[in-house]
């Protein structure tokens, strides 16, 4: 089966409740996609992800093309079989990674040349190759190749990058095969309302299966990101899924679902988990703190996950202190379960027409990471981004 | 319930098939105990261990006393509850660790003083404290504190260490409580037949619940270890379980069950797993090898473990290359499953009176690690032993 079927069952303000049918099953929206950059959601098995209730995973064509190589995965029978995940998979094209990871990357109208972050080998990637890679991986949703420049870029370069992104989107559409993956276009334009508008106006007539918002959550203040999401929302067709790339934190997800976003992906829940950050409805707990040394409570009383059902904060604190692998697993299981529960609560609220109340209530109780600290961390992460996640 | 009940159901030559009943359930013998040094079998959850068929775990009182501290575990409700493992647990006393890990360790007749390998803090451990720690952890089988000197030690020092080990064993017995854990004595004496004999003769009248063979598999040639095991076997009462500490490899286990050993523990299966070494009935595979890059077979066709049922060698090879946590887990699951299957096959062979045939067949097909390489690795490991496992 080609393509996907997007079915909106209910709206509440701009928030939408729906489902997307793929050839590997259905996932409900809004959806949070855990990130399996290299074909594995760090520390977790497909069995655990299924048990947590995860319905769709994100992987990365750039990473997989460099290692183990598209040939290898194709030989083994495609990405689903390779990684033992039967449900839907969306792959990012790697536009962001050629830029953030590849050394000596050089963009031309034809494509992007770069050196591998793994072994320094030279590579050249075109939009057409990128779609072909994702087809050969056998994924359900493919992202087009884009150029994702930093917000600080001057206007001329920003425009050049945007034009290129648009031409690449059009070229990707031309190699779209009836039995290939569904294809999402990516709206770029940084923090410029005019460029974002232009981008949406160029991409919408190409009739993609869905639209992503790229180049956000890369170090700009949250308020600016929210404003941009809200604006772009109005420029996109209501009957297509819209996906906010690389977002995010629990509060970002709650807010942006309110602006009509249907899909999210982020390494945040698994990345902070590995550093001892455990998500709760009141904010993040740092399990490395000595106050948890004798705390026999679970991370969250109301949580049904494997971690909360079987282990105390004291034990998880000990595992982190002792640098035991199991710490990273138990924390990752809880954080993805938390995201799943959050999304389920939001879906319920939309269904009952109470999304606004839910959002107000959530924001009132959830202690976000201090904005200044957050921005510093985020920029540091974007700059130092290596193939960790 | 105090103590344990050891029931021998069948013997075949010196090999024995039986079971040991503890207050946390029964485990069958011969038994291989995976090692949860710091209260976690590295990378694996209790749920996975149960699914693999593990019946008893080993942990380490020395490590747990230093971190998180006996108080913490006692407060949380004992080691079983702390780590979420409901089955039997045996703890090693830490005699080997004070020596191999502790800095500036100093043995006296009273006990051993040492500095923590974690933070350099000073500690003093007596045989009585060691038993008390294990009681407070609530484990099923406690080991007495011993002094485990290197084989190279001169005869006078060796004798002094042995005398001390014996006095400590006697003192441990004196603080034995009716509702405490079962207590195993440890036969020492290095590679001297005379000293081993003396050790067994001292310990047997103390009527321990079981007897361990200590100070073996620490860098001596396999042939010498086997000889010593065989000799000590004849010095111990047949109706008590005997436990060969820190052993071992598949071939060691097969051989030593033939010399009447009932219990084993070793970090080998999980340690080599984390370095890409996968156990099979033909020997060890190094999954880092490029020949596995496109190999769609499981590690072993005949294996029913989670890893072999769901994942190809190609995928596991990729995970190792990409340094994904999941590699260490999948490999550990397989290796412990392999050990479980090996022990099951041995039990079946003993039951059918075919142990000798099984042993011959196994040894004929199993390609052991080259003896010279093995000895070098083992000595290096013993010397550099840190709290990794």
CB of B388 within 8 Å of a chain A CB? The answer is: no
CA–CA distances in Å: residue B282 to residues B125, B336, B355, B362:
44, 16, 19, 9
Question: Which of A343, A342, A340, A318 lies closest to A330, judged by CA?
Answer: A318
CB of A84 within 8 Å of a chain B CB? The answer is: yes
Three-state SS for A47? Answer: helix
CB A92 within 8 A of CB A98: no
B355/A334 Cα distance (integer angstroms)? 47
The residue among B217 and B331 whose pLDDT is bigger is B331
Q: For position B384, what pLDDT does the model report?
A: 61
Q: What is the mean pLDDT of residues B88-95?
A: 93
pLDDT tens, residue by residue, A254-303: 999 999 999 999 999 999 999 999 999 999 999 999 999 999 999 999 99
Q: Identify all chain A residues contacting B325, using CB atoms and an 8 Å cutoff.
A: 40, 42-43, 325, 328-329
Q: Identify all chain B residues contacting A326, using CB atoms and an 8 Å cutoff.
A: 40, 42-45
A146 is catalytic: no
B4, pLDDT greater than 50: yes
CB A32 within 8 A of CB B316: no
Q: For position B102, what pLDDT does the model report?
A: 64
B45:A315 CB<8 A: no
A311:B84 CB<8 A: yes
Q: Identify all chain B residues contacting A306, using CB atoms and an 8 Å cutoff.
A: 45, 47
pLDDT tens, residue by residue, A212-268: 999 998 889 999 999 999 999 999 999 999 999 999 899 999 999 999 999 999 999
Q: For position B358, what pLDDT does the model report?
A: 98
B152 CB-side CA count, 13 A? 3
Q: For position B80, what pLDDT does the model report?
A: 98
pLDDT tens, residue by residue, B349-376: 999 999 999 999 999 999 887 777 777 7
Phi, psi values for residue B356, rounded to 5°: -60, -45
A83:B310 CB<8 A: no
CB B196 within 8 A of CB B227: no
Q: What is the mean pLDDT of chain B?
A: 93
Which residue in chain A is spatially nearest to B389 when comparing CA positions? A324
Of B67, B82, B306, the CB nearest to A315: B82
No. of H helices and E strands in chain A? 16, 16
pLDDT tens, residue by residue, A140-184: 999 999 998 877 778 888 899 999 999 999 999 999 998 999 999
CB of B109 within 8 Å of a chain A CB? The answer is: no
Q: What is the mean pLDDT of residues A367-389?
A: 66
Give pTM, 2 decimals.
0.95
B385, pLDDT greater than 60: no
Q: Identify all chain B residues contacting A67, using CB atoms and an 8 Å cutoff.
A: 318, 321-322
pLDDT tens, residue by residue, B38-50: 999 999 999 999 9
Burial call A308-326: b when 16+ CB within 10 Å, e when fewer: beebbbbbbbbbbbbebbb
pLDDT tens, residue by residue, B129-145: 999 999 999 999 999 99
A42:B76 CB<8 A: no
Positive or negative, the Cα torsion across B83, B88, B94, B96?
negative
CB B375 within 8 A of CB B221: yes
Of A46, A68, A329, the CB nearest to B318: A68
Q: For position B386, what pLDDT does the model report?
A: 45
B329:A47 CB<8 A: no
The residue among A1 and A207 whose pLDDT is bigger is A207
Every domain of chain B and the residues it spans: 5-266, 273-373
Provide the pLDDT confidence category of residue B181 given band limits of 50, 70 and 90. very high
CA–CA distances in Å: residue B65 to residues A44, B79, B111:
30, 12, 16
CB of B318 within 8 Å of a chain A CB? The answer is: yes
Nearest chain B CA: its distance from A291 CA (Å): 12
A374/B199 Cα distance (integer angstroms)? 63
Partners of A57 in the β-ladder: A89
CB of A218 within 8 Å of a chain B CB? The answer is: no
Q: For position B365, what pLDDT does the model report?
A: 92
Of B45, B76, B328, the CB nearest to A314: B76
Nearest chain A CA: its distance from B357 CA (Å): 39
pLDDT > 70 fraction of chain A, expressed in percent and rounded: 96
Positive or negative, the Cα torsion across A270, A271, A274, A278?
negative
CB A34 within 8 A of CB A45: no
CB A150 within 8 A of CB A100: no
Q: For position B95, what pLDDT does the model report?
A: 79
Q: Identify all chain B residues contacting A83, using CB atoms and an 8 Å cutoff.
A: 315
Question: Which of B334, B335, B320 lies closest to B287, judged by CA?
Answer: B320
Which residue in chain B is spatially nearest to A45 when comparing CA positions? B326
Nearest chain A CA: its distance from B2 CA (Å): 27
**Candidates A140, A176, A209, A265; catalytic one:** A265
B209 is catalytic: no
Nearest chain A CA: its distance from B275 CA (Å): 14
Domain A5-271 has CATH 3.20.20.105: yes
Q: What is the mean pLDDT of residues A115-130?
A: 92
CB B138 within 8 A of CB B177: no
Q: For position A96, what pLDDT does the model report?
A: 80
B70, pLDDT greater than 70: yes
Q: Identify all chain A residues contacting B315, using CB atoms and an 8 Å cutoff.
A: 39, 76, 82-84
B325:A328 CB<8 A: yes
Provide the pLDDT confidence category of residue B2 given band limits of 50, 70 and 90. low
**Candidates B92, B176, B209, B252; catalytic one:** B92
Partners of A106 in the β-ladder: A113
B380, pLDDT greater than 90: no
A314:B45 CB<8 A: no
A362/A348 Cα distance (integer angstroms)? 14
Interchain CB contacts (distance < 8 Å): A and B: 123
With both helix axes pointing from N to C terminus, report the angle between B193-203 and B222-233 in degrees, rounded to the nearest 10.
40
CB of B306 within 8 Å of a chain A CB? The answer is: yes
Q: What is the mean pLDDT of residues B112-116?
A: 90
A38:B317 CB<8 A: no
pLDDT > 90 fraction of chain A, expressed in percent and rounded: 84
Of B72, B322, B329, the CB nearest to A38: B322
Q: Which residue has the tokens 């640098």?
A: A323
Q: For position B89, what pLDDT does the model report?
A: 98
B328:A326 CB<8 A: no
Most confident of the ranges A117-126, A344-353, A363-372, B103-112: A344-353
A82:B315 CB<8 A: yes
Q: For position A387, what pLDDT does the model report?
A: 39
Provide the pLDDT confidence category of residue B383 given band limits of 50, 70 and 90. low
**Candidates B12, B140, B209, B265; catalytic one:** B265
Give the count of beta carbons closer than 10 Å to the beta carbon of residue A282.
10
pLDDT > 90 fraction of chain B, expressed in percent and rounded: 84
> Which B residues 326-365 touch A at CB under 8 Å?
326, 328-330
A2, pLDDT greater than 70: no
Q: Identify all chain A residues contacting B47, using CB atoms and an 8 Å cutoff.
A: 306, 310
Homologous superfamily, domain B5-266: Queuine tRNA-ribosyltransferase-like (3.20.20.105)
CB of A389 within 8 Å of a chain B CB? The answer is: no
B72:A294 CB<8 A: yes
Q: For position A370, what pLDDT does the model report?
A: 73
Nearest chain B CA: its distance from A318 CA (Å): 6
A20/A262 Cα distance (integer angstroms)? 10
B266, pLDDT greater than 50: yes
The residue among B200 and B380 whose pLDDT is bigger is B200
B379, pLDDT greater than 80: no
Q: What is the 3-state secondary structure (H, E, C) of B288-307?
A: CCHHHCCCCCCCCCCCCCHH
Q: What is the mean pLDDT of residues A61-85?
A: 97
Query: Alpha-carbon Rg of chain A, whole angstroms?
Result: 20
């Amino acid at each position: 089966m080609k393509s996907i079927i997007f079915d909106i069952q209910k709206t509440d303000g701009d928030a939408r409740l729906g489902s997307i049918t793929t050839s590997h099953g259905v996932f409900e929206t809004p959806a949070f996609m855990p990130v399996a950059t290299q074909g594995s959601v760090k520390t977790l098995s497909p069995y655990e992800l299924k048990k947590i209730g995860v319905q769709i995973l994100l992987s990365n064509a750039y990473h997989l093309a460099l290692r183990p190589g598209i040939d290898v995965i194709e030989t083994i029978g495609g990405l689903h079989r390779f990684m033992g995940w039967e449900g839907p998979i969306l792959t990012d094209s790697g536009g962001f990674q050629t830029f953030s990871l590849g050394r000596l990357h050089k963009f031309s109208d034809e494509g992007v040349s770069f050196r591998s972050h793994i072994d320094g080998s030279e590579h050249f990637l075109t939009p057409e190759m990128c779609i072909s890679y994702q087809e050969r991986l056998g994924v359900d949703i493919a992202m087009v190749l884009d150029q994702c420049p930093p917000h600080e870029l001057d206007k001329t370069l920003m425009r050049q990058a945007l034009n290129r992104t648009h031409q690449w989107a059009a070229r990707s559409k031309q190699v779209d095969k009836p039995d290939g993956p569904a294809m999402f276009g990516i709206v770029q334009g940084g923090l410029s309302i005019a460029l974002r508008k232009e981008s949406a106006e160029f991409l919408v007539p190409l009739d993609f299966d869905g639209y992503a918002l790229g180049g956000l959550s890369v170090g700009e203040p949250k308020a600016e990101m929210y404003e941009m999401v809200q604006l772009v929302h109005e420029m996109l067709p209501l009957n297509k899924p819209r996906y906010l790339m690389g977002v995010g934190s629990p509060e970002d997800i709650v807010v942006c679902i309110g602006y009509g976003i249907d899909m999210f992906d982020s390494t945040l829940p698994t990345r902070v988990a590995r550093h001892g950050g455990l998500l709760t409805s009141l904010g993040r707990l740092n399990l490395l703190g000595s106050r948890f040394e004798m705390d026999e409570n679970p991370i969250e009383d109301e949580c049904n996950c494997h971690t909360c059902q079987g282990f105390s904060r004291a034990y998880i604190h000990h595992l982190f202190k002792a640098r035991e692998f199991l710490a990273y697993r138990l924390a990752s299981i809880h954080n993805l379960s938390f995201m799943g529960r959050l999304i389920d609560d939001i879906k319920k609220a939309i269904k009952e027409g109470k999304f606004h109340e839910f959002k107000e209530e959530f924001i009132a109780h959830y202690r976000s990471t201090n904005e200044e600290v957050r921005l510093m961390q985020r920029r540091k992460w974007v700059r130092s981004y290596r193939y960790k996640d």
